[in-house]
């Protein structure tokens, strides 16, 4: 296809890219006002279609970006909630562990107090 673009005849319905010379006017062609108006209208219509197409693509890209941001925000929110639940559970576990440790310490202190009290009574006498 690249090699075919260098040939001088149109390939598969291409519009010729070389300017055809008009032998009657010294190589220049003059357009009438109606031809210029038609050409301007045609170019304006093509430009409007291109602008509409670009606007549609931009809107599509913006909506996809918004959806992606929303999905990311939801994932981040879910991750933050999971992290908060994990820390809450860890706090509860540590609180329960501290309660067990305090009860065990209390029982040990009570038992050792009874043992020391009873031992000192036996050693020093009941008087």
| Paired tokens of 120 | 């000192």
User: How far is CA 59 from each of CA 31, 48, 62, 119, rounded to the nearest angstrom?
Assistant: 40, 16, 5, 88
Identify the DSSP state of 25. Answer: G
> 0.85 exceeded by the pTM?
no
Of the two residues 126 and 113, the one the predictor is more confident about is 113
Residue 69: alpha-carbon gap to chain centroid: 4
User: What mean pLDDT is predicted for residues 59-81?
Assistant: 86
pLDDT score for 12? 53
Give residues with Cβ within 8 angstroms of 28, minimum separation 6. Answer: 22
pLDDT at 1 over 70: no
Q: Which residues of 100-119 are buried (b: 16+ CB within 10 A; e: fewer)?
A: eeeeeeeeeeeeeeeeeeee
Q: Which of 9, 11, 13 is nearest to 1 (CA)?
A: 11
Handedness of CA 62, 68, 71, 75 (dihedral sign): negative
* Digit-coded pLDDT (tens) for 115-124: 998 888 888 8
Query: Rounded to 5 degrees, what are φ and ψ at 55?
Result: -65, -40
């Amino acid at each position: 296809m690249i090699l075919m673009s260098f040939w001088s005849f149109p390939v598969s319905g291409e519009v010729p890219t070389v300017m055809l010379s008009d032998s009657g006017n010294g190589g220049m062609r003059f357009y009438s006002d109606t031809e210029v108006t038609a050409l301007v209208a045609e170019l304006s219509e093509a430009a409007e279609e291109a602008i509409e197409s670009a606007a549609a693509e931009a809107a599509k890209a913006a909506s996809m970006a918004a959806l992606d941001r929303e999905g990311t925000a939801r994932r981040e929110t879910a991750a933050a909630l999971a992290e908060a639940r994990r820390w809450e559970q860890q706090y509860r576990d540590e609180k329960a562990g501290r309660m067990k440790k305090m009860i065990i310490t209390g029982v040990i202190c009570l038992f050792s107090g009874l043992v020391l009290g009873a031992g000192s009574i036996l050693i020093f006498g009941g008087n």
